[in-house]
Amino acid sequence: YENATTASKAVAKEISALIRVKQSQKQPCILGLATGSSPKGLYAELVRLHKEEGLSFKNVVSFNLDEYYPMEPDSVNSYVRFMKEQLFNHVDILPENYYVPDGLLTKEAIADYCDAYETKIEALGGIDLQILGIGGNGHIGFNESGSLQNSKTRLVALDHITRVAASGDFGGLDNTPRTAITLGVKKIMEAKRVILMAWGEGKSNIIKTSTEGGVTSLVPASYLQEHNNATFILDKAAASKLT
Ligand code: F6R
């Protein structure tokens, strides 16, 4: 796409069409959602479609990919807060229908919580459409380099490069969380449709590596080469190194 705005509108169009198909079938629409800068334009367009074109989110159930750990839900850097500000507070999704991993759990409670997160997704029939961004190291969700293709939802240590990228939001590296809870690669790969979005020159090297390089755990986004319905939606700058 020429730019991130037109690209984001195209993704919003696909999501709204899916939500409407599911509505006509009286089915819930299960969305996997990401945070970060990449999906902001998408969420703005979904809000516009709700306000101006009557798109309802009443049949949407969403599962966010990740949350820093530990994290207070109302902290400025919390992903629950991000989602409320960017999307949930501006559309008619039911509060009981969106899930963001809980950053307040005790360490002992995390494993069972992560299993239950996956069980809930499975009980709803799996993720219909998963939105992803990509980290400079090729992470998807917070599945950092070395994450296995069958990895489960779990507590992970964040890569140094991920922490450096986030450190501006936290007022320096020392204040940046070292761990996060992330949906595992397995559930991402089980999604019926996957859309990864990336904008800007800064993403161009990792886009080339993850799509034209080999499939490797060092670059978890490369696993998507083996997904049968995954698309990378890019602006010109992010696509500029592709052959
Ligand atoms: C966020 C997430 C991360 C981001 C990635 C890119 O929920 O799972 O994988 O998608 O770090 O972040 P941005 O979009 O800020 O470049």
Radius of gyration of the chain (CA): 17
* Ligand 1 close to Cβ of residue 38 (< 6 A): yes
Going from the Cα of 26 to the center of ligand 1, the distance in angstroms, rounded, reads: 32
Question: Residue 188 belongs to what H/E stretch?
Answer: helix 185-190
Angstrom distance (rounded) from CA 45 to CA 52: 10
For the chain, the structural domain boundaries read 4-234
Residue nearest to atom 12 of ligand 1 (CA): 36
* Ligand 1 close to Cβ of residue 209 (< 6 A): no
Angstrom distance (rounded) from CA 146 to CA 212: 19
Angstrom distance (rounded) from CA 214 to CA 144: 17
* DSSP code, position 223: G
Residue nearest to atom 11 of ligand 1 (CA): 135
Asked if the peptide bond before residue 220 counts as cis, ω within 30 degrees of 0, the response is no
Angstrom distance (rounded) from CA 100 to CA 117: 9
Structure tokens at 60: 């949407």
For tokens 């902001």, the residue is: 40
Taking alpha carbons only, the member of 103, 30, 36 closest to residue 62 is 30
Asked if 113 and 154 touch (Cβ cutoff 8 Å), the reply is: no
**For position 71, what pLDDT does the model report?**
98
**For position 240, what pLDDT does the model report?**
98
Q: Which atom of ligand 1 is nearest to the CA of 39?
A: 14
Going from the Cα of 139 to the center of ligand 1, the distance in angstroms, rounded, reads: 8
ipTM beyond 0.85?
Answer: yes
All residues at 6 or more sequence positions from 11 whose CB lies less than 8 Å from its CB, including other chains: 42, 45, 131, 195, 197, 233
Asked if 114 and 93 touch (Cβ cutoff 8 Å), the reply is: no
Taking alpha carbons only, the member of 181, 182, 163 closest to residue 107 is 181
User: Is CATH 2.20.25.90 the classification given to domain 4-234?
Assistant: no
pLDDT by 10s per residue, the chain, length 243: 999 999 999 999 999 999 999 999 999 999 999 999 999 999 999 999 999 999 999 999 999 999 999 999 999 999 999 999 999 999 999 999 999 999 999 999 999 999 999 999 999 999 999 999 999 999 999 999 999 999 999 999 999 999 999 999 999 999 999 999 999 999 999 999 999 999 999 999 999 999 999 999 999 999 999 999 999 999 999 999 999
* DSSP code, position 9: H
